[in-house]
Structures are given as structure tokens and as C-alpha cells.
Amino acid sequence: MPLSQKIGFIGTGAITDAMVRGLLSDPAAVPHVVVSQRSAEISAKLAVDFPQVSVSIDNQAIVDACDTVVLAIRPQIAEEVVRPLKFRDGQAVVSVVAATSRSALLRWIGGDGKLSQAIPLPFVARRKGVTAIYPPDAGTAALFNVLGNAVECETKEEYDLLAAASALMATYFGIMHRTTEWLAQNGLPEEKGRAYLAPLFAGLSDTALLGGKDIAFIEMSHEFATKGGLNEQVFRDFEANGGSRATLGALDRVLARIRG
């Protein structure tokens, strides 16, 4: 559903690039986007690719001109960029700044801004992303539903847990890479391994989505593990050799890091 709001982005890195491309893919979901010139290369490319994009060298001008402001800056410089800005009372602000507490963001924004936090992933560029947001907010949910699906978290604890779970992405691709390497070492050309594994894992993801809330993931695991079969053997080896323990331990540690 098209959004009537004008959206501004302060910070122009990979996530801003993905969000803008998702919002302005045909049919465009918003009439106008303003991006900061923080990354001259990315902002210039967006302006070339989309006539709805304008580039501003003045962050305050972005705040003044837009209904919703997305903060997409590195946490190391977030305070020095955000604190001098003057937001309107009730103005919608969406932070995608990583590893930065809500209390700190609210202090820097000041006034009576309406702050949402979100964890958009690169897939929003194709309107395929699932984005955790906190706190629940209809406007922010509408924005990210355009880009895929929004999951509204009722508590900061829920939001932190989903942030930790999203840290499994690199591991997912790492498993595919290690498997491709193993296939190549045993005589299968790498391009054939990739051509097989990518749709195999995509098909498994489709199965998980189609299962919805009715089928537990462990039940799906059992469905794909014939008793005495190869899938059952690999999962048993994975469990017996500490695979699940290592995964859960890594999630515990990343959650502790998120919570500071």
C-alpha cells in the first residue's frame, strides 16, 4: 500500500541503500525520499537511479522537510550526528542504529519525538525483508510491511532476542560455503555445488514459511529425517558433536553483548 509520507535518511550506508531501493521499486511506495550525503557514492547512485530521490548536505534540512526521519548512522558517531538536530514534537523517528540503547537515543533526540527502533535486513531492497520493530507502532509497521513484513515487539526483551537471532545469517551462508568446499574437495565443481545448494536451502525456507504456526520446526526436521536415513544421521552427528550447544552458546553470548 503506498505511503503518503516524505521520508528522510540521515546516514547513507548499505541499509539506507536497501531501504530506499525497496521503497522506490516500481511501483514506488513513497512520493519522495531525501538522503544525506554521508556516503557521496551511494547517495549519488540513488539519485541517478530514482528521480524521487534528492540529496542534502544538511541533516537539519532533512529533519525539517520530512514526516519520518530514519537514523542510519554508525553507532560510533551517532551521538555527535544526532544530538545537534532539532526534531519536531511528535515527529516520527526510526532508528536502525545498531548496539545503541533506547534511552541514549531518546536523550539525543530530545523533545517529544516518537522513536521506533528497527532491524532491517538487506532483503528489504527486494521487498522480501522481515523487520523487527520496537515498540509497536502502526506507522513504522506500515513502512516495513511495504518492504516485506514487520514483526512488532511488545517488549525490549523480545526485540533484543530477535536481534540476537538475526546474527545467525553469516552462519547460514557459512554452512553453505563449507558444504560447497567439501563438495569441491570430493570432485564436484564449485558452480554445480552452488547451483544445487542455493535452491535446496531456498526450498527448505519455503517449507518453513508454508508451515506457518501449525508445525514446529523440530517436526519439520523429523519429516525430513527418515528413520535410519542420511538426514537423521547428519542431525544426530551435529547434536552429538556439539553443534546445537555451540549455536545456543553463541546466541547467549551475542544476546549478552546486545544487552550490554
Rounded distance between C-alpha atoms, residue 72 and residue 124, angstroms:
14
Residue 2 pLDDT class (50, 70, 90 cuts): low
Q: What is the mean pLDDT of residues 187-213?
A: 93
Q: Which long-range contacts (CB under 8 A, 24 or more apart) does 169-172 make?
A: 169/121, 171/247, 171/250, 172/201
For the record, the C-alpha cell of 235 comes out as: 542431525
Please, which residues have CB within 8 angstroms of residue 17's CB and are 6 or more apart in sequence? 42, 45, 46, 125
Q: What does the pLDDT look like over 21-74, one tens digit per residue?
A: 999 999 999 999 999 998 899 999 999 999 999 999 999 999 999 999 999 999
From residue 197, how far is each of 3, 59, 128, 193 by CA, in Å? 38, 44, 20, 6
For the record, the C-alpha cell of 124 comes out as: 528489504
Domains identified in the chain and CATH numbers = 7-154 (3.40.50.720), 167-258 (1.10.3730)
Q: What is the mean pLDDT of residues 223-252?
A: 97
Is the Cα torsion angle 32, 101, 74, 131 positive or negative in sign? negative
Q: What does the pLDDT look like over 172-183, one tens digit per residue?
A: 999 999 999 999
Instruction: Mean pLDDT check: name the lowest of 164-173, 207-216, 239-248.
Output: 207-216
Residue 76 pLDDT class (50, 70, 90 cuts): very high
Q: What does the pLDDT look like over 81-118, one tens digit per residue?
A: 999 999 999 899 999 998 888 999 999 998 667 999 99
Rounded distance between C-alpha atoms, residue 2 and residue 23, angstroms:
9
Asked if residue 4 has pLDDT above 80, the reply is no
Give percent above pLDDT 70 in the chain: 98
Q: What does the pLDDT look like over 54-66, one tens digit per residue?
A: 999 999 999 999 9
Q: What is the mean pLDDT of residues 124-138?
A: 96
Give the mean pLDDT of the chain.
95
186 DSSP assignment:
T
Residue 249 pLDDT class (50, 70, 90 cuts): very high
